[in-house]
Amino acid sequence: MNRLRKIGERIVEVMLTLSGSITSLAILLIILFLFKEGIGLFNNPEIEKGYVLCLNSSNPVEKLTPYQIKQIFDSEIENWKEAGGTDGEIMLFRFDEIFNMYSDEELGEDYALLPQKLGEVIAQNPDIIAFFPEKYLPEGNRSVKKLPLENIQVQDFFGGKEWLPTATPMAQFGVLPLILGTLWVSLFAILIALPLGLGVAIYLSELANERTRKLLKPTIELLAGIPSVVYGFFGLAVIVPLIQRTGHLPVGETALAGSLILAVMALPTIITLAEDAMRNTPRAMREAGLALGATQWQTIYSVVIPYAASGITAAVVLGIGRAIGETMAVLMVTGNAAVMPHSLFEPVRTIPATIAAELGEAPAGGTHYQALFLLGCILFIITMIISISAEVISKKQINQGL
Amino acid sequence: MIETKNINFYYGDFHALKDISMEMQAHTVTALIGPSGCGKSTFLRLFNRMNDLIDGTRLTGECLIEGENIYHKSVQVDELRKKVGMVFQKPNPFPKSIFENVAYGLRVNHIGDKSYITQRVEESLRDAALWDEVKDKLKKSAFELSGGQQQRLCIARALAISPSILLMDEPASALDPISTSKIEELIHSLKKDYTIVIVTHNMQQAARVSDKTGFFMLGELIEYNDTKKMFLNPEKEQTQNYITGRFG
């Protein structure tokens, strides 16, 4: 009998160990997958795969940065002078224009003559920049100069200020506006949620009577259970128009709307955890303070809050974590303009919102797709840093002294 | 100095103290003894109104300190507690430095004069017989001290705001014998400046440190007498039984 029980316990033990390791392994694999997909981005050429950019050989320009190419095709640069060349208006040539210039017959069977015609076009126009598939590259034509193209650069990714993943020929993957947008919205969310959350936590743990507490605490915890899309809906229906009207803004979908919604969403976390931390302050600590003639408020700020400091910090950090990772509500109310955030009253776009909005239209395995995965990695790293710091802070022993 | 008149105290429906009248003189040590749950700690905590913190309690009767009813509406509790210091059963220093622990009472009294605070901290630590052990590590966390040192730190903390009465709720029950004897010596030396009321489980301790002893049982004050008389020749049979260890 005893033997049987031992075997049973052993089996349960093995199963628990197994399920634990399998879970950890699965999580690890997900992270690995995320990074593997994301890092692939830097193996892609700057422009669309299989395409080339060509200039006339007489053009002294030897190299263009991805951003310059984007500006040229957006007609923001119209003269070669601005791109380091000689005076001359840039002539944009996109591949499909060849079909306007030549009939299908002239291009020959299976477009066999197309490279030759392309070569002629480039040769005739000294200020041309042509964008076409690499397989039609007119080999051996000496007046055609192929621009050297590099793979996507890490510094362009992290330092770029433009996020235009579907721009042709040169998609722009600058994540700076997205990272800053995320931090920007989260920062203000925390600035709103922190004083409010701590205030409510202090009220609940120190001032409210038992009945109020029993009523309020579950209500606040209930807030944490509302789906974020409902928050987003509320924000879109109420907060966005309110901001637009009161601020006389062109659009109400702004960073402020996102911050407000995120603040409300982070509040339950902050309140619940901070309140728990304060209530965990031993009775003896409070009594010690009160017995020395401290008033209730003096006891709160000089005994309870310092004692609960690590728990309160952890609460705040986890609240920030929630704000940074939040997707749906932010996607709905921030307007999603991928621009560098300048004020609270302009649309911004966050990393999670970008992933959610764009992954559906990014072809699997493509550059855009990989860029989104890399965004996921960045988000993962940010939230990981936050979780680890929460861990470190809450483990920091209270008896290290203050 | 301290006088209670017909004190009755209730936790909800539970009648914890029954009609207790008692007088304690200044500069004496009064020990309150009795079995667990007899109400002696509750009685002690009346004097600095610590029982106010518990919901659903009720009090009748009068509790006078220096002739003033401390349960009168006009009494400010935090002012009262500055006059009536308290040391708890378990050492409960704040998670602050040794210095800041002692200075706490001064700081909450809005005393900002640094040299005065420094002076008071040293005096209090000397009075609590702790100065020599901690004078080189005042900036260290109070948690680095031993249990006995922490308890003396808590005494120093209570002394720093110059109370006239010191309440001690089983101050040595969590300590080893050496620390206990240090606390007892300390009580002796503090007697000349303070009125001390001490709750204790330990009858030898009561016999050693106190001038008068009150014996509580089931919420009643059974006997209140000079300690010597109480332990050598008690008037009541119940007292006799308790101090000879027949129950409790």
What is the distance between the alpha carbons of residues A132 and A47, in angstroms, rounded to a whole number?
11
Summarize pLDDT for A326-367 with one digit per residue, the tens.
888 888 898 888 888 888 888 899 999 999 999 888 888 888
Task: Tell me which residue in B78, B95, B154 faces A293 most closely, judged by beta carbons.
Answer: B78
Summarize pLDDT for A240-265 with one digit per residue, the tens.
999 999 988 888 888 999 999 999 99
Report the pLDDT value the prediction gives residue A192, as an integer from 0 to 100: 93
What is the distance between the alpha carbons of residues A189 and B152, in angstroms, rounded to a whole number?
47
Residues of A in contact with B92 (CB under 8 A): 282, 284-285, 287-288
A208 reaches B (C-beta below 8 A): no
Residues of A in contact with B88 (CB under 8 A): 284, 287-288, 291
Please state the ipTM of this predicted complex.
Answer: 0.88
Pairing of strands B84-87, A144-146: unpaired
Cβ of B92 within 8 Å of Cβ of A285? The answer is yes
Residue bearing the bigger pLDDT, A396 or B111: B111
CB A258 within 8 A of CB A189: yes
A306 reaches B (C-beta below 8 A): yes
Task: Tell me which residue in A287, A290, A293 faces B109 most closely, judged by beta carbons.
Answer: A293
Cβ of B92 within 8 Å of Cβ of A306? The answer is no
Residues of B in contact with A295 (CB under 8 A): 78, 108
Cβ of B108 within 8 Å of Cβ of A402? The answer is no
Instruction: Band the pLDDT of A17: cuts 50, 70, 90.
Output: very high
* Residue A207 one-letter amino acid: L
Residues of B in contact with A287 (CB under 8 A): 50, 53, 86, 88, 92
Is A401 a residue whose pLDDT tops 50?
A: no
A290 reaches B (C-beta below 8 A): yes
Is B18 a residue whose pLDDT tops 50?
A: yes
Instruction: Band the pLDDT of B174: cuts 50, 70, 90.
Output: confident
Instruction: Band the pLDDT of B247: cuts 50, 70, 90.
Output: low
Residues of A in contact with B158 (CB under 8 A): 291-292
Cβ of A292 within 8 Å of Cβ of B142? The answer is no
Cβ of A292 within 8 Å of Cβ of B108? The answer is yes
Report the pLDDT value the prediction gives residue A402, as an integer from 0 to 100: 43
Is A70 a residue whose pLDDT tops 90?
A: no
Mean pLDDT of A129-139: 86
What is the distance between the alpha carbons of residues A132 and A136, in angstroms, rounded to a whole number?
7
Residues of A in contact with B78 (CB under 8 A): 290, 293-295
Mean pLDDT highest for which of A11-20, A368-377, B93-102?
Answer: A11-20
A293 reaches B (C-beta below 8 A): yes
Report the pLDDT value the prediction gives residue A399, as an integer from 0 to 100: 45
* Residue A146 one-letter amino acid: K
Residues of A in contact with B153 (CB under 8 A): none
The per-residue b/e assignment along A148-176, b for 16 or more CB within 10 angstroms, e otherwise, is ebeebeeebbeebebbebebebbbbbbbb
Reduced 3-state DSSP string for chain B = CEEEEEEEEEECCEEEEEEEEEEECCCCEEEEECCCCCCHHHHHHHCCCHHHHCCCEEEEEEEEECCEECCCCCCCHHHHHHHEEEECCCCCCCCCEHHHHHHHHHHHCCCCCHHHHHHHHHHHHHHCCCHHHHCCCCCCEHHHCCHHHHHHHHHHHHHCCCCCEEEEECCCCCCCHHHHHHHHHHHHHHCCCCEEEEECCCHHHHHHHCCEEEEEECCEEEEEEEHHHHHHCCCCHHHHHHHCCCCC
Summarize pLDDT for B188-240 with one digit per residue, the tens.
888 889 999 999 988 888 999 999 999 999 989 999 999 999 888 888 888 88
What domains sit in chain B, N to C, each tagged with a CATH number? 2-243 (3.40.50.300)
What are phi and psi for residue A142, nearest 5 degrees? -80, -15
Cβ of A291 within 8 Å of Cβ of B48? The answer is yes
B67 Rama sector, left if φ>0, alpha if ψ -120 to 50, beta otherwise: left
Report the pLDDT value the prediction gives residue A307, as an integer from 0 to 100: 86
Chain B positions contacting chain A at CB under 8 Å are: 48, 50, 53, 55, 78-79, 81-82, 85-86, 88, 90, 92-97, 100, 104-105, 107-109, 140-144, 154, 157-158, 161
Question: Residue A398 CA to chain centroid, in angstroms?
Answer: 35
CB A267 within 8 A of CB A322: no
Closest residue in chain A to residue B107, using alpha carbons only: A294
Cβ of A288 within 8 Å of Cβ of B157? The answer is yes
Distance, in angstroms, between A190 CA and closest chain B CA?
28
Residue A18 CB-density burial (10 A; 0-12 exposed, 13-18 middle, 19+ buried): exposed
What is the distance between the alpha carbons of residues B75 and B166, in angstroms, rounded to a whole number?
19
Is A398 a residue whose pLDDT tops 70?
A: no
Closest residue in chain A to residue B143, using alpha carbons only: A399
Closest residue in chain A to residue B105, using alpha carbons only: A292
Cβ of B95 within 8 Å of Cβ of A292? The answer is no
Cβ of A401 within 8 Å of Cβ of B140? The answer is yes
Distance, in angstroms, between B144 CA and closest chain A CA?
8
Cβ of A292 within 8 Å of Cβ of B161? The answer is yes
Residues of A in contact with B100 (CB under 8 A): 402
Tell me the HSE value of A192 on the side-chain side, using a 13 A CA sphere. 20
Closest residue in chain B to residue A297, using alpha carbons only: B108
- Residues forming a β-bridge with A24: none
Mean pLDDT of B172-183: 86
A279 Rama sector, left if φ>0, alpha if ψ -120 to 50, beta otherwise: alpha
What is the distance between the alpha carbons of residues A311 and A344, in angstroms, rounded to a whole number?
30
Residue bearing the bigger pLDDT, A341 or A196: A196
Report the pLDDT value the prediction gives residue A75, as an integer from 0 to 100: 84
Cβ of B95 within 8 Å of Cβ of A291? The answer is no
Is A154 a residue whose pLDDT tops 80?
A: yes
Is A59 a residue whose pLDDT tops 80?
A: yes
Pairing of strands B68-69, B220-226: unpaired
Residue A41 CB-density burial (10 A; 0-12 exposed, 13-18 middle, 19+ buried): buried
Is B79 a residue whose pLDDT tops 60?
A: yes
Rounded to 10 degrees, what is the CA torsion of A192, A193, A198, A203? 90
Pairing of strands B2-11, B29-33: unpaired
Closest residue in chain A to residue B166, using alpha carbons only: A291
pTM higher than 0.80, yes or no? no
Cβ of B50 within 8 Å of Cβ of A285? The answer is no
Residues of A in contact with B81 (CB under 8 A): 290-293
Question: What is the number of residues in chain A?
Answer: 402
What is the distance between the alpha carbons of residues A234 and A223, in angstroms, rounded to a whole number?
13
Cβ of B81 within 8 Å of Cβ of A307? The answer is no
CB atoms within 10 A of CB B32: 28
CB B208 within 8 A of CB B200: no
Distance, in angstroms, between B82 CA and closest chain A CA?
5
Is A397 a residue whose pLDDT tops 70?
A: no
Pairing of strands B212-217, B195-199: unpaired
Closest residue in chain B to residue A288, using alpha carbons only: B92
Taking CA atoms, A246 is separated from A189, A197, A233, A330, A342, in Å, by 19, 25, 20, 20, 19
Reduced 3-state DSSP string for chain A = CHHHHHHHHHHHHHHHHHHHHHHHHHHHHHHHHHHHHHHHHHHCECCCCCEEEEEECCCCCCCCCHHHHHHHHCCCCCEHHHHCCCCCECEEEEHHHHHHHCCHHHHCHHHCCHHHHHHHHHHHCCCEEEEEEHHHCCCCCCCEEECCCCECCHHHHHHCCCEECCCCCCCEECCHHHHHHHHHHHHHHHHHHHHHHHHHHHHHHHHCCHHHHHHHHHHHHHHHCCCHHHHHHHHHHHHHHHHHHHHCCCCCCCHHHHHHHHHHHHHHHHHHHHHHHHHCCCHHHHHHHHHCCCCHHHHHHHHHHHHCHHHHHHHHHHHHHHHHHCCHHHHHHCECCCCCCCCCCCCECCHHHHHHHHHHHCCCCCHHHHHHHHHHHHHHHHHHHHHHHHHHHHHCCHHHCC
Distance, in angstroms, between B210 CA and closest chain A CA?
23
What is the distance between the alpha carbons of residues B7 and B21, in angstroms, rounded to a whole number?
7
